[in-house]
Amino acid sequence: MPVLILFDSPLKSCNMGASKRLSDDLKTKIIQHYGLGEVYKKLSKRFQLSVSTVRNIVRKWKATGTVLVKPRSGRPSKIPERQSKRIVRMIKNNPQTTSKDLQGCLAADGVAVHRSTIQRNLHKERLYGKVMRKKPFLHSPSNITELQRFCKEESSRIQTLIGGYRKHLQAVIFAKGGSTKY
């Protein structure tokens, strides 16, 4: 003969409204005790649940043969799984690909989706759009010489500004009527 286990449930459904989902273990224990011949009222006292909750669990078990919650379907994705993997591959190969480019690739394959759908799909894969850093690429010789030329021009311009600063300052002081002998 199976051993009956007393179970104190933290879920007391004495108030109205949505309550927490009952665990599958608890539902299985209710069905085990029901199979041993216990009535709804005793089961509800044992597990501290309402009689209607126990009755609904037993009804579901009789109808479906299980107390487990069925997976919910939801709306199917507009982007097929194969295309989704292809998009992720394209992004990993070329991170500068835009969602507009991906939209065009999908349209060529016959899948018409909005850019936000593509972005949502990429977010599920933990890929997010970021602005690239504007940093000069210094590995090519032409870029290095261009940067050196720019620096020389700027330094000569700064030197002329500094050299003319004293004359400019004296002109301003003289125009205001002050003494320029300092």
Give pLDDT tens digits for 38-78.
Answer: 999 999 999 999 999 999 999 999 999 988 888 888 898 89
Task: Return the sign of the alpha-carbon dihedral for residues 52, 57, 58, 62.
Answer: positive
Residue range 1-71 forms a domain whose CATH class is mainly alpha
**Residue extents of the structural domains in the chain:** 1-71, 81-124
CA-derived radius of gyration, the chain: 38
Write out pLDDT tens, residues 113-138. Answer: 999 999 999 999 998 887 777 777 77
Percent of the chain at pLDDT > 90 equals: 42
Q: Are 137 and 104 in contact (CB under 8 A)?
A: no
